[in-house]
Structure 1
Amino acid sequence: MATKEEDKVKQKSRTIFHVLDLAGASDYVRRLRQHCTLIHDVHATVMINMKKYSSIHTFESTSEGTTTPGLNSDIDTMMCFRMFPVYENSEDAKHHMTQMRSPGNLQEGENTHHIVMLVDDHTPVGFSKLEFVKNTNLQLPFILEQDSYGKTVLDNICIVEALTGDERNGPAATILKRPGYTDIDHIPSFHCKTWPAVADEFFTRNRMFEFPGQNIRAEFGNLGIFFVPTGHGDSQEKHLQWRLSFSLQERKIMLNLNETQHKCYVLLKMTKEDFVKPNVSGKSLTSYQCKTSMFFEMENSPDSFWIPENLIYCYINCLKRLRGWIQNGFVPSYFMPDVNIWKGDMTVQNKVVKVLEDVLESPLDTLMQLRCDKVGSLLNDMVDYNLDEADVPDNDFSTDLTQADRALQLAVHALHYCFIVETVEIAGKLISENRGNVDANITHREKLIEMLNDKDSLCDQTLQSNTVVNQAVDYLVPFIYTSLGSHLIVKGIQESSDIFKNQGLGYLKRGLESDFLAGKVKFAAVLFALRMYEEAAELLENLHESLERDIITQCMCGKAEDDHPPTFIINKILVYKILSMKPLPSEILRHNTSTCALFLPDELPILPKELQYELICEEASERLPVVAVDSKVLRYYLLYRIHEKLGNKHQMKVSLAFLGGTMGYDPKLCHLDTANNLMGCIFREMGETTGALECFVKSLKKNSKRTVAIWHILITCFDSYIKLGLDKAYMQSS
């Protein structure tokens, strides 16, 4: 039977559990961070690795979702050089080379150079030298040296020094924090596909409880390991040594934590930041050491212990384990316990132990002093008022709650916004690549789709699961479908081929869900070019009229740097929708994002006349020959032209009014120079010379580097001069 003190601790555990939700450590925010980071790694790898030479992997807090707005944890990004595979021994390498040389496996021009792990008497446990085996004449991007045994091995220093950054941090080049951003550690690495024998103890050790689960451990061997460029500090050959990194396995465990385990780790990190870091300088307690203590605690306690009402007990047990390790000056690596991951000297060691002892002396009081994300203030108020999550008074407590809620809103909006920006920019780079002509662009896009649909290859290349790879591909493929479809339509127009036109329409339909608007307006532009006016009108008029209410407007062509301030605009309606419905970014992209519509030079036949001017002037300049227009602007402009063709004068006026209203009152529009040119052309046709010139001048002021507005001004003035001359001649003849 529980004592009163135990009941009190369990009650406060539940309170802290809820406070951490308010502070940005909720399960939704955690899963959102994980999703965004893992998908981004696949996208980034696709961009840099069209020939399977490299891959990108983000680890630690960002990919694990174990950070909060207040913690603002660093981003650890690993670039793996996949063109040089690592093998544990020569026999493994020889076996793989034999497979590569079998018919159909060795790609044309592919070299068989590789790396073999090399461990000798000068190499401490947890480290390895990398012996380079060069089977062809190859210009290497790094330095080879002879070790003390005469072996040709890789130097680790030159690779880190080749990276750009503000400072060096172990094996990483670090870009330091800017306002509103986090530190980014760029870590070069090599990858071995197999689990090394030196770490077999992990699979054979006696575990009191089944952690990690057998199904998770079964995947570890297939993930392989990384080698990062850092040697043992006390070794004479540290410049030739590479540390074994089990980051993939570590991340696998962290992705499968339950909510209590996740929040326990967040509390440990907050304790480190608020109590250890301010009192201990130099190399001290790290997040990885906190994580390691939790892993060993999870091995020695049942799953039933890790529940919300035991959160404080879980936290205390981890701190006790850390204190014992640091007192002895040895913190074991979780995957190779013979490796000491403690780096502090005796002075630091004593200071950290003293801080941990103070925390353990009164852990509840310590938690109420946490400054990070106002956890302590929120906890104090909730305890003082004996509150639960559904009972918040209207008094001073609401100030802390409001500030915490505001920070959470900003963080969640930023997560969605930044992910959408990155995804859209990558999609834009893929579809704006111009191979010179229609046939080449069609072939390129077909190959892109084929590559993205080769899920097995992408899983192997990115070291991600099928689920993550499928989700990542689903973000990008609709944009490519739209681009391929429009190019097939152009080919069908040029060759008067219904076959190509029908194929193009099929791909355009598959690209309708690329985002909320761009795929649809580009489809409508194609229908307009094919004189399918009723179909185009139906497609555009079925969209919501109030597009500006909860839509993120995002440029995808990289040509709108001056259109937006460096900070993003908070859309309150969208924020509340996100917090209440908890969607994935894919839903925000498809239902709440409007990207610009892109047109390449060979898409000239499907462009309305005024946008053809834009493209021709772009080709004549030194800029990238791509026409981009805000999808909301293009929607109303197309509706105006469609109703003009159909003779619907009233609908023409309505479309023009919406176009003007959107340009005048939507602060999020991109490519305002193009929008003003389109509006100016309409005014010129209507005989509104003054209005037309005002639009063209606005366009010129918005982007003085483009010549389109100048040409429109000259054409407008010339038309006015001719009209004035004709009117004068008519008056004289009368």
Structure 2
Amino acid sequence: MSMCLSEILSDIGLNEEMVLKRRRAWLQRESLATLAHRLKGIQQTIYMFGSLTEGTTTFGMRSDNDMLIYYDIHNVVSGIEDCKPEKINLLVFSEVSTPPGYCLLSQVQRDTPFHRLKQTLLPHGLFQIFFNYLNAIDDNEYKLHGPALRVKGRFDPNDQDYVYAYHCQAWPSSARTWLTEEGIGGWPTKEMKSFAETNGCFLVGVGSKGSDMEQYEYRISTSLAERCLMFSLNITQIRCYVLMKMIIKTFIHPCGDSIITSYMCKTVLFHCIQHTYSTLWQESELLYCLTLCLSALQYCVLIGNCPHFIIRENNSMEGRFTKEFRTVFIEQMRHIILDNGLSLRHAEYDELGIRLQCKMKHVSRNMDSIYHLPRLGLIVLASYCVTLARVFKIFIRSSYPLQCMKM
């Protein structure tokens, strides 16, 4: 079954050659977009994130593209000594009540000496003003989608999400623990962590739901570090991630809801890779890896906690679903996991289900010999349980309240 899935996914464009071509194309588009604005005198930098840039999608999934924009005129600092007179200086900090993964901003007044800084919290309602401005001058259909402005069919048939953010060169202190962690298989590498620390993070104008300071809080985004991690994955890990998204969209959210997001699937995949040996992630073990990731995702929903891969105290599932949804999801995932991949016969994206059924007909004559190896099955099951227990440890450690860490 694993080899069947690998061959089918390769046929629909999920192979090393096509993934690299997609990445190069979108990175070139990213550079050209920044260059075009700078030639017009607009000092801003553009990054393109998401499945299209990562090469972790197919044509049939119609993934949207995320464009993050920040203006170079802003200088986000963690200390007054880093302020620059020629720029708009913003001080980033957090308070005891600031939720993990979020921070506050205050503008350094130009007419006030640095040592007598007056802290005035900077709300992120300015992005709403820009949204209203775009609707007034542009014929495109704009919608608010979280902190993003979504344009329908910008890259037909893909939607375009615009996110305006501030760039902070300093690596958040709440993520420093991640820099010293070591995975079983040596992933992420020291070079990846060094890249992440050097390039800093983004601050996106969206607060924690229900927080008293929601309108002033900014979410810490480690998108650059996560893109670096995605670029390091092998083709089996990429296929595993794509299959997870297909399963969620087919069986959990067929109407387009987003309770369980692609970002949660990515986070679970990162945790699984970090706590398993690299030799596990091979084409011949694709179904095994997929089952491992789905089981980890199921466990996250069960305990209501999916810790951010880099900022562990930040729970990406907090307040996302009800008890009723949790019960239904766990039961659905149980059936999918126990089906040993057969549920994928119902996946319609890129005709994956039809392709899989046709493929299985050709190899069905060899299936009997597989089921006559109960001893091997027990060994695989034991190995699976040990691996899964190792992955679960990180979710268990992160499932209890922790003190908020300052930026």
Q: Same fold (TM over 0.5)?
A: yes
**C-alpha contact 1:67 1:266 (8 A) present in aligned 2:** yes
User: Does residue 74 of the first structure (1) align with residue 64 of the second (2)?
Assistant: yes
Whose radius of gyration is greater, 1 or 2? 1
CA–CA distance in structure 1, aligned partners of residues 111 and 157 of structure 2 = 44
Listed as ranges, the matches of 1:230-309 within 5 Å are: 230-278=206-254, 282-309=257-284
Q: How many residues align?
A: 348
Query: Which of 80, 85, 91 is 2:75 aligned to?
Result: 85
CA–CA distance in structure 1, aligned partners of residues 183 and 339 of structure 2 = 31
When residues 357 and 161 of structure 1 are mapped into structure 2, their CA distance, relative to the original with a 3 A threshold, is: farther
Query: Which of 343, 346, 356 is 2:323 aligned to?
Result: 346
CA–CA distance in structure 2, aligned partners of residues 268 and 192 of structure 1 = 32
CA–CA distance in structure 2, aligned partners of residues 160 and 250 of structure 1 = 27
Q: Displacement of 1:282 after TM fit?
A: 4.8
Query: Which of 347, 363, 376 is 2:353 aligned to?
Result: 376
* CA RMSD, Structure 1 to Structure 2 (Å): 2.0
Per-residue CA deviation, residues 660-686 of structure 1 (Å, 9 max, x unaligned), is xxxxxxxxxxxxxxxxxxxxxxxxxxx
Per-residue CA deviation, residues 32-61 of structure 1 (Å, 9 max, x unaligned), is 111111111111101112457211111010
Find the counterpart in structure 2 of residue 357 from structure 1.
334
TM-score (norm 2): 0.81
Per-residue CA deviation, residues 595-636 of structure 1 (Å, 9 max, x unaligned), is xxxxxxxxxxxxxxxxxxxxxxxxxxxxxxxxxxxxxxxxxx
Listed as ranges, the matches of 1:585-600 within 5 Å are: none
**C-alpha contact 1:74 1:185 (8 A) present in aligned 2:** yes
CA–CA distance in structure 2, aligned partners of residues 218 and 52 of structure 1 = 30
When residues 363 and 235 of structure 1 are mapped into structure 2, their CA distance, relative to the original with a 3 A threshold, is: same
CA–CA distance in structure 2, aligned partners of residues 282 and 236 of structure 1 = 27
Q: Which moved more, 1:337-346 or 1:306-315?
A: 337-346
CA–CA distance in structure 1, aligned partners of residues 185 and 340 of structure 2 = 27
Task: From the two aligned structures, give the one with the greater strand fraction.
Answer: 2
User: Does residue 367 of the first structure (1) align with residue 320 of the second (2)?
Assistant: no
When residues 232 and 179 of structure 1 are mapped into structure 2, their CA distance, relative to the original with a 3 A threshold, is: closer
CA–CA distance in structure 1, aligned partners of residues 171 and 54 of structure 2 = 22
User: Does residue 42 of the first structure (1) align with residue 17 of the second (2)?
Assistant: no
Find the counterpart in structure 2 of residue 184 from structure 1.
160
Per-residue CA deviation, residues 505-546 of structure 1 (Å, 9 max, x unaligned), is xxxxxxxxxxxxxxxxxxxxxxxxxxxxxxxxxxxxxxxxxx
Q: Displacement of 1:223 after TM fit?
A: 1.2
CA–CA distance in structure 1, aligned partners of residues 64 and 128 of structure 2 = 18
Find the counterpart in structure 2 of residue 225 from structure 1.
201
Q: Displacement of 1:238 after TM fit?
A: 0.7
Q: Displacement of 1:27 after TM fit?
A: 1.8
Find the counterpart in structure 1 of residue 394 from structure 2.
none
**C-alpha contact 1:231 1:242 (8 A) present in aligned 2:** yes
CA–CA distance in structure 1, aligned partners of residues 67 and 266 of structure 2 = 19
When residues 79 and 179 of structure 1 are mapped into structure 2, their CA distance, relative to the original with a 3 A threshold, is: closer
TM-score (norm 1): 0.46
Matched residue type, 1:339? N
Find the counterpart in structure 2 of residue 131 from structure 1.
106
Structure 2: 5+ residue runs without aligned partners? 113-117, 135-140, 365-407
Residue aligned with 1:49, SS: helix
CA–CA distance in structure 2, aligned partners of residues 179 and 62 of structure 1 = 11
CA–CA distance in structure 2, aligned partners of residues 230 and 204 of structure 1 = 29
Residue aligned with 2:289, SS: helix
Per-residue CA deviation, residues 98-128 of structure 1 (Å, 9 max, x unaligned), is xxxxxxxxxxxx7233111120133211101
Find the counterpart in structure 1 of residue 13 from structure 2.
24
**C-alpha contact 2:154 2:160 (8 A) present in aligned 1:** no
Matched residue type, 2:23? Q
Residue aligned with 1:201, SS: helix
Matched residue type, 1:24? G
Identity of aligned residues (%): 25
User: Does residue 322 of the first structure (1) align with residue 322 of the second (2)?
Assistant: no
Find the counterpart in structure 2 of residue 310 from structure 1.
285
- Runs (4 or more) in structure 1 with deviation over 3 Å come to 177-180
Find the counterpart in structure 2 of residue 158 from structure 1.
126
Find the counterpart in structure 2 of residue 528 from structure 1.
none
Residue aligned with 1:231, SS: coil
Structure 1: 5+ residue runs without aligned partners? 1-11, 98-109, 138-149, 388-734
Matched residue type, 2:306? V
